Amino acid sequence: MQFTLVLVLCILPAAVYTWNQNCITKPVGFGYKTTGGQGGKTVKPKNTAELTNYLKSGEKLIIDLTTTFDYTKSEGTAVSTGCFFLKCGSGFQESLANAGTCNGRSPTKVTYYKAGLTQLIVGSNKSIISSNGKGAIKGKGLRIKNAKNVIIQGITISDINPHVIWAGDALSFDNVENVWVHKCTIARIGRQHLVSYQKTNKGITVSSCYFDGTTPSSAYCDGKQYWIWLFWGTHDEITLINNHVANTAGRTPHAGGWSKSRNYVHLVGNSMDNNKHGGIEPWTGSYILSEGNKWTSFTRPINIHAKGGHLAMVNDANGASQCKKYLGAKCLVNKYDNKSKSKTWFDVVVLSQFSKLDKRAISSARNAVCV
């Protein structure tokens, strides 16, 4: 059953919403079984070539990044036919001509760094950490592909052709199992901050990360990134918990949207700030459970154009209580400041579908929500 009445809920002053990045210390949610490179040797790459090889190796490794690894100019530049996505003033994004993005748009020649188009492959049994807090990867993202048991913790991924759509993703899941992404920062990306590909991607938790949408080039010329999270695997199980998502314009997340999509997304206890366009996008094949999130200056937590998917937006005590029937415990109620509104969208089928998943994963995330 679905309701679509528009109203303002749980109005509270913005000052109550503080983000505690340090309150989660172990993997919870769907990725709670992840151990990464535990038991493997620790290596400290000295340059990009060493880092590339360590990431894709078949060894169990703890890869400690102690500086910035800048791939930006490593493969030179390219010029391709593309378009102006929306030439709306200064600070607009261009786009490469992929997947129909440029259909009906004004053509132009697009210049970009080639390194951003391909990602660094990450193999199984890896922990990518930064012991000194200075570890960063610039100009190229990470792609966990056909791999299991990966931890990415405490690093920054940034500056991947921010002016060009289709010119680079920050972090991709491509046929993976058991991944924990924790306390990372992602900023100034041309396309997606997170994306799951059209394979099975299970056991993923993204926690306590900072997704910074502030950008010099944006889809709507307002300095806010649109392309944040895109999930469209054939069977995704993803927990997003205690992340700070700021200055964005959409896709938090976009889930589903093609005939074989099955995306189970637990959006729980996140801080969502400063967005005047749209947030959650439930498209065909998606099942999104949103509970205990805090929305500040977020005009539309749900994208009004999304359709075909399923969302359980826990906005009141009744919704919270319905969770107990299916999941064994009440859900947490979302909170909104006086600049944020939420459409009431509560599909019980989401709870029914989540009841077939790992209930320990679901409850461990809810119990770990920071207060």
Q: Which residues are catalytic?
A: 251
> Exposed, middle or buried, 107 (CB in 10 Å: 0-12/13-18/19+)?
exposed
Ranges of H-type helices in 48-102: 48-56
Q: What is the 3-state secondary structure (H, E, C) of 123-180?
A: CCCEEEECCCCCCEEECCCEEEEEEEEEEEECCEEEEECCCEECCCCCEEEEEEEEEE
Separation between Cα atoms, residue 208 and residue 215, nearest integer Å: 21
CB distance 365 to 270 below 8 Å:
no
| Residue corresponding to tokens 């949408």 | 213
Q: What is the DSSP letter of 92?
A: B
- Calculate the alpha carbon distances from 217 to 47, 52, 84, 143, 348 in Å: 29, 28, 12, 24, 39
CA 195 to the chain's CA centroid: 7
